[in-house]
Amino acid sequence: MSPKRLRITGSGPVALVCALFMQRRGIAAGQIELDLTIGPVPEALSARVLAISEGSCQVLSRVIALPQAGLIEQVEVSMQGHAGRTRIDATDLDVTRLGRVMRYGSLLDALRTATARHAWATEDATQPAALTIHAEGDAGEDARVRDFDQSALLGEVHASSSSTIWHSTAFERFTPHGPLALLPLPEPGRFALVWCDRDATCRTRLLADREALSQELNDLIGARLGAVSMVGPLTVAKLTRRLRRDVVRGEAVWIGNAAQSLHPVAGQGLNLGLRDAFELADELACALRRDEPIDRSLARWQSNRRPDRLGTVAITDLMASSFTWPLARPLQSPMLMALDLMHSLRRPLAARLMFGGR
């Protein structure tokens, strides 16, 4: 009997990571159908910034050489107009860093370099695949959709402060209309900007004078980074959460953005997709070694992934919306202060964001 063929659809990070981990776990590359004929990545997508938790980086480093990245050693969470804040530090989890900030194009190049070392199968009509792994990035019509009534203004800024501590800090500032994040990039003084607000406001800012927009941002975040100025192009992305109802159906499974796409608050989307891929590779490798029916392995994978998947969706949904609730705002500042003062409260949150639900 010929070996079971496994088809992966998609050419982004989750698809390529899934293939590399399947091969690493003992599934021959010749059993895995993978399309590597995709051409250059559009410039806007290549420049997109990804926040990769240190838990994900540790696993990624087993299959690729990690690309150049900004380092996150602290995360500072605050509220506009309120004194309360909390800082999550790498020392809370006894690690050297909480995560890294990479550009999409750099990560994809590293993954393409790694996959090019293997002889993957190509689609063959005479050998139908026993399983199709959908990692193409669209949750489809089966998804439950939540509209946050927000968009995100995406771009990069330069901060004039020479303090090196701030260049390894990720800032999350909650405003009445949505969160604003500044993520440290590899270049000194450079941060990725994710500025969430009403769609009309984001589109007005997109067309605004850069100097005036930089001043508005400075007024919002304060002076600790020095003068902050917009650099490079800006784009606007509409923010919705899409959660596929069934991630296993017959001889098909959905992972990454094909299973769920999240609000960017806390940077959990790609990390959740990578965990989908890591754990699916483990399950399939074990099933093939035992000659176990694939559907039984998929049912186990789906059950094991449910707490992490639904828990991460719930946390990001809550963070994206709750700080915009006017009645809740008097309680939120004291809560941030309590987190800052109590390591026993802060550590579980840090662990959840770094490693997911375990």
Handedness of CA 71, 72, 78, 83 (dihedral sign): negative
DSSP E strands in 99-139: the ranges are 99-103, 131-134
Whether residue 344 is predicted with pLDDT greater than 70 in this model: the reply is: no
Return the pLDDT at 84.
64
Return the pLDDT at 352.
58
Tens digits of per-residue pLDDT, 248-296? 999 999 999 999 999 888 788 999 999 999 999 999 999 999 999 999 9
Whether residue 28 is predicted with pLDDT greater than 80 in this model: the reply is: yes
Tens digits of per-residue pLDDT, 104-144? 999 999 999 999 999 999 888 788 899 999 998 888 888 99
| Cβ neighbours, 10 Å, residue 1 | 4
Where does the pLDDT of residue 223 fall: very low under 50, low under 70, confident under 90, or very high at 90 and above?
A: confident
**C-alpha 144 chain-centroid distance:** 19
Q: In whole angstroms, give the CA distance from residue 267 to residue 259.
A: 17
Q: Residue 165: exposed, middle, or buried by beta-carbon count in 10 A (0-12, 13-18, 19+)?
A: exposed
Return the pLDDT at 40.
85
Whether residue 328 is predicted with pLDDT greater than 50 in this model: the reply is: no
Lowest mean pLDDT among 80-84, 223-227, 292-296: 80-84
Q: In whole angstroms, give the CA distance from residue 239 to residue 264.
A: 8
Q: In whole angstroms, give the CA distance from residue 348 to residue 343.
A: 9
Q: Is the separation of the CB atoms in 234 and 253 below 8 Å?
A: no
Where does the pLDDT of residue 323 fall: very low under 50, low under 70, confident under 90, or very high at 90 and above?
A: low
Whether residue 343 is predicted with pLDDT greater than 60 in this model: the reply is: no
Whether residue 37 is predicted with pLDDT greater than 90 in this model: the reply is: no
Return the pLDDT at 338.
45
Mean of the per-residue pLDDT values for the chain?
Answer: 87
Return the pLDDT at 321.
76
**Residues linked to residue 157 through DSSP beta bridges, in sequence order:** 191, 230
Where does the pLDDT of residue 322 fall: very low under 50, low under 70, confident under 90, or very high at 90 and above?
A: low
Mean pLDDT within 204-229: 92
Contacts of 267 by beta carbon, 8 Å cutoff, 6+ apart? 50, 51, 53, 99, 181, 183
Contacts of 90 by beta carbon, 8 Å cutoff, 6+ apart? 54, 73, 74, 96, 97, 98
CA-nearest of 110, 121, 126, 124 to 27 is 121
CA-nearest of 173, 50, 28 to 111 is 50
Return the pLDDT at 180.
92
Residue 137: phi and psi, rounded to 5, are 95, 15
Where does the pLDDT of residue 355 fall: very low under 50, low under 70, confident under 90, or very high at 90 and above?
A: low
Reduced to 3 states, what is the DSSP secondary structure of residue 166?
Answer: helix
Return the pLDDT at 339.
43
Q: Where are the domains of the chain?
A: 6-69+104-143+242-334
CATH topology of domain 6-69+104-143+242-334: FAD/NAD(P)-binding domain (3.50.50)
The model's pTM is 0.89
